[in-house]
Amino acid sequence: MKVGICGLGTVGGGTFNVLKRNAEEIARRAGRGIEVAQIATRHPNSKCDTGSTPITADIFDLVNNPEIDIVVELIGGYTVAKELVLKAIENGKHVVTANKALIAVHGNEIFAKAREKGVIVAFEASVAGGIPVIKAIREGLAGNRINWLAGIINGTGNFILTEMREKGRTFEDVLKEAQELGYAEADPTFDVEGIDAAHKLTILASIAFGIPLQFDKAYTEGIARLTTADVNYAEALGYRIKHLGVARRTEAGIELRVHPTLIPADRLIANVNGVMNAVMVNGDAVGSTLYYGAGAGMEPTASAVVADVVDVTRALTTDPNNRVPHLAFQPDSLSDHPILPITACESAYYLRIQAKDHPGVLAQVATILSERGINIESIMQKEAEVQDGLVPVILVTHRVVEQRIDDAIAALERLDDVVDKVVRIRVEQLN
């Protein structure tokens, strides 16, 4: 089996090294040897000894090379990568990619072309690095009706939150280290603003619920505005703040949202730290399951790429119409259940209200919430923290539709006794 690797960066370099180092074990699994027949890169990777492997600077050289059976796309981005993948498909080649942006945004078109040509486009490495979560949902949970999934699916963001919380390091300092370690996207705002996580969540939701990829409908909120004060109050209330992607099926539609989230501190997923990722998937038959592992990095991501290369190798002689469908469900059986706008999503909420320390302030806050049918689960106000006559009132609500919390926050901010914007962070119990 002849493989061409496009891009010899962090993941490309890792893929080359793993294919070479584990060649014998891989051949025993695949039933034949897998050889890197060509690499397309403009920059050598000092961590790879490419030896006599032919190298070209032109990715289209590789895609048009008749010797290559599988094109491994590891250049990233939406534009050239899309052209490259479509050309590979047109040339009858199978494709393995780690490119979540490409799949989330152009996957519907790419899979349609792949079906026409009878080739496989495999993308395990696009979500949660080395964790085989796509295979788990698509194949291992195929008997279930999936109710919801929730995951820490950006290694860089989780690394930043962990280092800030545990070591008091600054946001910028940790981000720089994540970039040096090859975890971060070329544009790191994709990591911290939740765009990368939304790409991955879009893919997970499609294979969990059997819906087309709809990245444009995902709601994203980043971690850059989180404060140490909220991290500490959350801890005092028994929660951890994680950057979570949540996809939930409701009767009205599907929730698809990425945002900072309070999770009870005793949940396993609340204790997933550093670059590690974890995805919880709840199915009607299996109940809740949890998948954990490195979410980014050279060899963890290569592990998923190589597994796809082995899968493609094994499936070469199978009937293209009877392979595992790209999005887990047969393409003519995808559902048009709508994606809900964030205002129609339901969650519990942490609110921090900066109030003047007057008699009756709490009563006004409680009235505004109760008038909108919002039930308070817990409330905290620390006298010791009164400063300049202001006191933070922290409360956690029961679950409610977001529109009602928006209305309540607007009313709270109109109170004379409330100063500053009300801080709102969603809360998920995940039980």
Q: What amino acid positions are annotated as catalytic residues?
A: 200
SS3 (DSSP) at 257: strand
Is 100 labelled as part of a ligand binding site? yes
CB nearer to ligand HSE: give 38 or 277.
277
DSSP 220-237: E--STT--HHHHHHHHHT
Q: Could you tell me if 113 and 89 are in contact, meaning their C-beta atoms sit under 8 angstroms apart?
A: yes
Is 10 labelled as part of a ligand binding site? yes
Nearest to 1 by CA among 316, 305, 304: 316
Instruction: Name the burial class of residue 232, with classes exposed (0-12), middle (13-18) and buried (19+) by CB atoms within 10 angstroms of its CB.
Output: exposed
Kindly provide the b/e burial profile for residues 35-57, where b requires at least 16 CB atoms within 10 angstroms of the residue's own CB. bbbbbbbeeebeebebeeeeebe
Is 295 labelled as part of a ligand binding site? no
Among 4, 13, 107, 129, which residue sits at the site for ligand HSE (rule: CB under 6 A)?
129
How many CB atoms are located within 10 Å of the residue 362 CB?
Answer: 17
Q: 98 CB contacts (<8 Å, ≥6 apart)?
A: 11, 73, 74, 123, 125, 126, 301, 304, 305
Is 231 labelled as part of a ligand binding site? no
CB nearer to ligand HSE: give 185 or 230.
185
Query: Where does 346-401 have alpha helices with state H?
Result: 361-371
Q: Which helix (H) or strand (E) holds 408?
A: helix 402-414
* Tokens of residue 354, six digits: 């900066």
Is 185 labelled as part of a ligand binding site? yes
Q: 380 CB contacts (<8 Å, ≥6 apart)?
A: 233, 236, 237, 393, 394, 395
Q: How far apart are CA 9 and CA 239, in angstroms?
A: 38
CB of 244 to ligand HSE, least distance (A): 14
CB nearer to ligand HSE: give 60 or 171.
171
Give yes or no for residue 123 binding ligand HSE (CB under 6 A).
no
What binding mask, one character per residue, do residues 280-309 give for ligand HSE by CB under 6 A, x or -?
A: ---------------xx-------------
How do 2-6 and 390-397 pair as beta strands? Answer: unpaired
Q: Which helix (H) or strand (E) holds 240?
A: strand 239-249
SS3 (DSSP) at 27: helix
Q: Residue 319 corresponds to which amino acid?
A: D
CB nearer to ligand HSE: give 140 or 274.
274
Give yes or no for residue 184 binding ligand HSE (CB under 6 A).
yes
Residues 186-205 within binding reach of ligand HSE (CB under 6 A) = 191, 196
Give yes or no for residue 152 binding ligand HSE (CB under 6 A).
no
Among 183, 215, 219, 329, which residue sits at the site for ligand HSE (rule: CB under 6 A)?
183
Interface with ligand HSE by CB under 6 A: which range of 23-31, 150-158, 338-346, 358-366? Answer: 150-158
Q: Residue 200 corresponds to which amino acid?
A: K
Give yes or no for residue 154 binding ligand HSE (CB under 6 A).
yes
CB nearer to ligand HSE: give 295 or 325.
295
Interface with ligand HSE by CB under 6 A: which range of 139-147, 151-159, 168-176, 257-265? Answer: 151-159
Is 11 labelled as part of a ligand binding site? yes
CB of 175 to ligand HSE, least distance (A): 11
CB nearer to ligand HSE: give 245 or 283.
245
* Tokens of residue 375, six digits: 């039930």
Is 12 labelled as part of a ligand binding site? yes
Give yes or no for residue 99 binding ligand HSE (CB under 6 A).
no
Residues 369-408 within binding reach of ligand HSE (CB under 6 A) = none
Give yes or no for residue 155 binding ligand HSE (CB under 6 A).
yes
Q: How far apart are CA 19 and CA 26, in angstroms?
A: 8
Interface with ligand HSE by CB under 6 A: which range of 32-40, 50-58, 162-170, 180-188? Answer: 180-188
Give yes or no for residue 156 binding ligand HSE (CB under 6 A).
yes
Among 124, 163, 185, 230, which residue sits at the site for ligand HSE (rule: CB under 6 A)?
185
Q: Could you tell me if 335 and 213 are in contact, meaning their C-beta atoms sit under 8 angstroms apart?
A: no
Give yes or no for residue 311 binding ligand HSE (CB under 6 A).
no
CB nearer to ligand HSE: give 11 or 237.
11
Is 116 labelled as part of a ligand binding site? no
CB of 369 to ligand HSE, least distance (A): 37
Sign of CA pseudo-dihedral 223, 228, 234, 235:
positive
Instruction: Locate the DSSP E strands across 166-322.
Output: 219-220, 239-249, 254-264, 276-283, 287-294
Residues placed in the known binding site: 6-13, 100, 185
Binding site for ligand HSE (CB under 6 A): 129, 154-156, 183-185, 191, 196, 295-296
Residues placed in the known binding site for NADP(+): 6-13
